[in-house]
Amino acid sequence: MTVTTLQGVSDAAVIEQSWQVPGVFAVLYERHAPHIIRYVARRLGDDLADDVTAETFYRAFEKRRRYDLERPDARPWLYGIAANVMAQHHRRETRMLRAFARSGVDPVAQAYGGQLDGADDRLTAAGMHRSLAVALAGLSRAHREVLLLVAWADLSYEETAQALGTSVGTVRSRLHRARKRIRAALGTENPLFVGDEG
């Protein structure tokens, strides 16, 4: 099986094939790296996005034999690995959000312009206000991670739970608390509140 014949094949099948032919793992990179890079850039800035993404895929490659082949989509798994890599940069993310709050300039929206995906478009169209950046900076890492995986990575509650290795109930609880804090800080509806909270 070559990389060209893997179009339309599930991520799980690609991962399984990579056990025998390691180079096939590059298909996952081609499929998912652009989204991971944008997500990391939004959280940590452009200067770390490539390095964190590379580390994410390196760790994924090293762990590929432990991947649950019952899960056809590797996106949640990859975002979970990225979350673990980004955890090392939690302070930087908080500083970046506070800098954005002071300046009002979203460097990621400027840098990626037309390349933003649906979640980013909603957020950019609504305008990420300084007060939102302050509110995000004030969230704990656990609450911020859940909120941004749902809002910026467009993961479902189930996918977010899978990415973070937790239960859907924990995701719902953390998301509810994070949204409540953001609403209290902003006093209005906000573009991060995508989907239902039920």
> Model confidence over 119-157: pLDDT tens digits?
444 444 334 467 778 888 889 989 999 999 999 899 999
How many C-beta atoms lie closer than 10 Å to residue 164's C-beta? 21
**Which two tokens mark 51?**
């390095």
HSE-CB for 177 with a 13 A CA cutoff: 14
Cα separation, 108 vs 112, whole angstroms: 6
**Which two tokens mark 25?**
């793992």
How confident is the prediction for the chain on average, in pLDDT? 82
Cα separation, 172 vs 192, whole angstroms: 14
pLDDT at 143: 95
pLDDT at 104: 62
pLDDT at 83: 94
The pTM is what?
0.75
pLDDT at 55: 95
Residue 194 and residue 150 in contact, taking contact as beta carbons nearer than 8 Å:
yes
**Which two tokens mark 55?**
């580390």
48 against 159, higher pLDDT:
159
HSE-CB for 59 with a 13 A CA cutoff: 16
